[in-house]
Structure 1
Amino acid sequence: MPLSKEDNDLLCRVENGAPMGEMIRQHYWLPAVPSCKLEADGAPVRVRLLGTNLVAFRATDGSVGVLDEQCSHRKASLALAINADNGLRCIYHGWKFNVRGEVVDAPNHTGNQEQFCKHVRVNRYTTVDRGGIVWVWLGKGDTPPPFPDLPFMDLPQSQRSVTSVEIPTNWVQGVEASMDSSHVGVLHESTTQMTAGGGNQRLLMTKALAPKLEFEERPYGYRYAALRPLADEQVYARVNNFVMPWYGIICPPDANSPTTVFFSTPVDDVTHRAWFVHFNPNRELGMTIMSASPDVWNFPPLPPGEPKDNWGQNRDLMKRGHKTGFPQHLGTEDFAMFLSQGPLYDRSDEQLCSADGAVIRVRQLLIKAAREFMEGKAPTQAHHPELDYRKIKSVGGVIPAGADWRTLADA
């Protein structure tokens, strides 16, 4: 069933006090920047989240901070600041901020420096540097929400890669795609053939384009199996997880291959940042199409063209057998779809089908959380008493027809 325009706005909009944005701000940690982008005493990095302009930096001692971009004094950009001696110093008048957001020096003020600095109004944001990502909590109060202790968080750096890229569309379009199993065998058919290898089970997705979906509610969101019938009374089962508010944990193509976590975080109403964490819990990751990224802050690549030339779609390549004309990366194919939907598309005019069950559940969980927040309640999936991110597992494999996919997932 398509959404009403009112529910579509509730689902998608995050700026200017929108309930969804305020719910996320208070009850979830947001990824700000890949850890490797921040060098001790290096240049601050601009970050925009939920319509708020911020800067992230690594201090002399290696600790990380996220501050409002505009200096509390005269609103000059702290992206221009000097990063030295464990703080950012604004180059306009010399005010200095530590990683906690506190003003520690205001050299142009006469009188008691300590008392003056203590009373400057600042927003103080809590940060954590884990899993190759600098995370920030933008909420109010002294007690952050549970940290998303996902399976890649404490792996050695050699067993994971982190990349991200900014896309000029609303964040929900990216979140929905991470749970849309039926598009994989169509949109990504050529990319799968190019990257999967001859014996890789992902190739089975191109054989049965209409999977049967079965769901199981979980404290963090839900998991579901996409079941594709094969010959000889067998079924290819892919069990993936949706973790509120935006994580799609996708099963590896085979038991020894890396798992991928896709998540799309809201920059503002019409922009999001797509994140890709590629990790192998069993061994070093080695060189993959993700770990070989040339730029962790701008990868995978956006489509190479403009709307007037179909975002750079290569029709000559399609004549030679490529299904989409976007050979750059699997993510590029997804980004082309998001761009073609528009900056924030109207879900009130959709015509959905049986394959869209997982997408519908994403919307339902997000809207439920926003409404709970509007009622003054803590969102259920953000503070569930049985919430344990470490137990989340996505897995795929071939099972006998009629067998319970949960035996595969819980092995």
Structure 2
Amino acid sequence: MPMTKEDNDLVTRVENGAPLGEMIRQHYWLPAIPSSKLEAGGRPFRVRLLGKNYAAFRAGNGTAGVIDEACPHRRTSMLLARSEEDGLRCIYHGWKINVTGVLDEAPNHSGDQQQFCKHIRTNQYSVVERGGIVWVWLGKGDTAPKFPELPFIDLPEDQRAVTSVEVPTNWLQGVEASMDSSHVGVLHESTTKLTAGSGNERLIMTKALAPRLEFEERPYGFRYAAIRDVGEDKFYARINNFVMPWYGLICAPYEKGPAMVFFSTPVDDVTHRAWFVNFNEHAPLGPTIISTAPDVWNSPPVPEGGAANNWGQNRDLMKRGHASGFPQHLATEDFAMFLGQGPIYDRSDEQLCSADGAVLRVRAAILKSVREFMAGKPPTLATHPELDYRQARSVGGVLPSGSDWRVLAEQA
């Protein structure tokens, strides 16, 4: 059954007090910026989250901070501020805000400066730097939500790589793609064949296009197996995890290979930031398309142009056998599909099939959480007593027919 327009708004809108945006703000840590983008004593960067602008920076002492972009005095941008040992100093009148968001100095005030600073309202946000990412909690209160201790978080630096890029569509379009197993063998057929080496099980998806899906609910969301028959009384099970509110943990293409985490965080109603974490729990990552990205704040590439030029699709390349016409990157192919859906995809007029079960469960999990929040209850998937993000591990493999795919999950 198609989603109603009211429910479509509930799972997509994040601005101006929308319930989803307020729920995320209060109950989840948001990735703000890759750690490597911030230089001690260097320039601040604009980070836009849930329709509001923030300044992310690293003070001279090396501590990362996230504060409101607008100076509390005359509201000019703190992106223009001078970075000092423990904070940012606005170059308009010299007001200094430290890494915790507290006003330390207001040199143009003639009275008791210390007392004056205490009475200036500033928003103070908790910041944690882990897994190559600066994270921020934008909620209120003294108790922050549980941190997403996903499998890449505490790996050594040489075993993970992080990139992100801003995409001009709603966030949910990206999240849904991460849990859509059947598009891989179609949209990514050529990219998979070009990048997959010998023994890469991901190639199976370019031959068996209609997986059978089986699900298990988990305290953080769900995991599911996309099962494909491969002949000779064997099947390929690809077990991936959805972790609320936006994480898609994708299994490695071969045993002990590099896995991926995709997450699409809301910039505003019609923009999201796509995050990519490539990681290997067993060995150094080495050169990959993520670890060698030229700009970790603007990669992979978003298609150029619009509908008038088919978003830059190379039709000549398609004539020569490329499946999508977007050879730049696997993610560029996905971004083109999001752009083709429009700024906010209307789910009230779609016609789904058997392959869309995981997408439907993503929507159901988000709807359930938003409705709990609107009813004044903490979302179950954010506060479950057995919530353990470390249990979200994805794995794939070929098994004899009649086997239980959960054997692979247990090994993980």
TM interval, short-chain normalised: over 0.9
Considering only aligned residues, what root-mean-square deviation do their CA atoms show, in Å? 0.6
Q: How do residues 5-404 of structure 1 correspond to structure 2 at under 5 angstroms?
A: 5-404=5-404
Q: Are the counterparts in 2 of residues 164 and 298 from structure 1 also a CA contact under 8 Å?
A: yes
Could you tell me whether the CA contact under 8 Å between 2:187 and 2:323 is conserved in 1? yes
User: Which residue identity lines up with residue 355 of structure 2 in the other structure?
Assistant: A
SS where residue 410 of structure 1 aligns?
helix
How far is 1:123 from its partner? 0.6
TM-score (norm 1): 0.99
Structure 1 residue matching 2:257: 3-state secondary structure = coil
TM superposition shift of 1:22: 0.2
Contact 1:305 1:313 survives alignment (8 Å): no
Q: Is the 8 Å Cα contact of residues 14 and 268 (structure 1) preserved in structure 2?
A: yes
Q: Please give the alpha-carbon distance, in whole angstroms, between the structure 2 residues aligned to 1:115 and 1:14.
A: 37
Give ranges in structure 2 of 5+ residues lacking alignment. none
How far apart are the structure 2 equivalents of 1:250 and 1:2? 27
Deviation string, structure 1 residues 333-360 (Cα, Å, up to 9, x no partner): 0000000000001100010111000000
Question: Alpha-carbon deviation of 1:233?
Answer: 1.0
Task: Give the CA deviation at 1:408.
Answer: 1.0
Give the whole-Å Cα distance in 1 for the aligned partners of 2:317 and 2:144.
50
Q: Distance in 1 between matches of 2:263 and 2:206?
A: 24
Shift of 1:199: 2.2
Determine the C-alpha separation between the residues in 2 that align with 1:131 and 1:338: 27
Instruction: Report if the CA contact (8 A) 1:168-1:339 is conserved.
Output: yes
Q: In structure 1, the residue corresponding to 2:406 is in which secondary structure? A: helix
TM-score by structure 2 length? 0.99
CA deviation string 1:139-169 (max 9, x = no partner) = 0111100000111111111000000000000
Question: For the residues of structure 2 that align with 1:99 and 1:84, how far apart are their CA atoms?
Answer: 10
> What count of residue pairs does the alignment treat as equivalent?
411
State the Cα distance separating 1:2 from its structure 2 match.
Answer: 1.1
Letter in 1 for 2:193: Q
Distance 2:55 2:61 in 1: 18
CA-CA distance at 1:305 after TM superposition: 3.0
Deviations along 1:85-121, whole A, 9 cap, x unmatched?
2110001111000011000000000111111101100
Could you tell me how far apart the structure 2 residues matched to 1:178 and 1:388 are?
21
CA–CA separation in structure 1 for the residues paired with 2:392 and 2:365: 18
Partners in 2 of 1:77 and 1:350 — Cα distance? 42
Assess if the C-alpha contact under 8 Å between 2:106 and 2:117 holds in 1: yes
Q: SS state of the match for residue 327, structure 2?
A: coil
In 1, are the aligned partners of 2:201 and 2:253 still within 8 Å (CA)?
yes
Check the 8 A contact 2:199/2:254 in 1, yes or no.
no
Following the alignment from structure 1 to structure 2, what is the Cα–Cα distance between the partners of residues 76 and 260?
39
**Distance in 2 between the 1:299 and 1:175 partners?**
17
Q: Which amino acid aligns with 1:167?
A: V
Are 1:43 and 1:57, in contact at CA under 8 Å, matched by a contact in 2?
yes
| Aligned-residue offset at 1:307 | 2.0
Structure 1 vs Structure 2: percent identity of aligned residues?
Answer: 71
- 2:4 corresponds in structure 1 to 4
How many Å separate the matches in 2 of 1:345 and 1:165? Answer: 20
Question: Per-residue displacement from partner, 1:56-92 (whole Å, max 9, x unpaired)?
Answer: 0111211111011000000000000000121100011
In structure 1, the gaps of 5 or more residues are none
Distance 1:150 1:408 in 2: 19
